[in-house]
Amino acid sequence: MTLADVTATASLDAASGTLRLAGGAPVCVFYFRAGYTPADYPTEAEWVARDLIERSSAAKCPTLAYQLAGTPEKVQQDKSGHLVRTKTSSSNEGGVAAGFAVLDSPFLVA
């Protein structure tokens, strides 16, 4: 479904924040594969859809703030699979933190 399709078929219940598609189905999650550049919003319909989505209570992935950073895909490519050891091998306390947004540091090299 495109952003223009959202504008044409969706309605927002302002009281509950629920965005519903034609037929009444509520939308719980929006996953954006586009929307990272102004070129992804060629007409007013795309902007209207994004406004509806942002005002809705549905979860957005990535968030608008993350999209505005302009680097989520690059972060995912560069940082996937990083692990940080948080304990020594002789200690029973601590553990391992895993994630894709771990900052590189010469002090984290094993």
SS3 at position 1: coil
Q: How many domains does the chain have?
A: 1
Residue 93 domain-assigned?
Answer: no
Amino acid at 103: L
Residue 102 domain-assigned?
Answer: no
Task: Report the pLDDT value the prediction gives residue 11, as an integer from 0 to 100.
Answer: 95
Task: Report the pLDDT value the prediction gives residue 51, as an integer from 0 to 100.
Answer: 92
Task: Report the pLDDT value the prediction gives residue 101, as an integer from 0 to 100.
Answer: 46
- How far is it, in rounded angstroms, from Cα 70 to Cα 48? 21
Task: Report the pLDDT value the prediction gives residue 35, as an integer from 0 to 100.
Answer: 81
Nearest to 53 by CA among 43, 44, 63: 63
The model's pTM:
0.60
Residue 40 domain-assigned?
Answer: yes
Residue 107 domain-assigned?
Answer: no
**CATH number where 58 lies:** 3.40.50.1760
Residue 104 domain-assigned?
Answer: no
Residue 22 domain-assigned?
Answer: yes
pLDDT digits (tens, 9 = 90+) for 34-58: 887 888 889 999 999 999 999 999 9
Residue 43 domain-assigned?
Answer: yes
Residue 38 domain-assigned?
Answer: yes
- How far is it, in rounded angstroms, from Cα 51 to Cα 12? 10
pLDDT digits (tens, 9 = 90+) for 64-106: 777 767 654 554 454 445 444 455 556 555 544 444 444 444 5
Tell me the residue range of the domain where 42 lies. Answer: 3-70
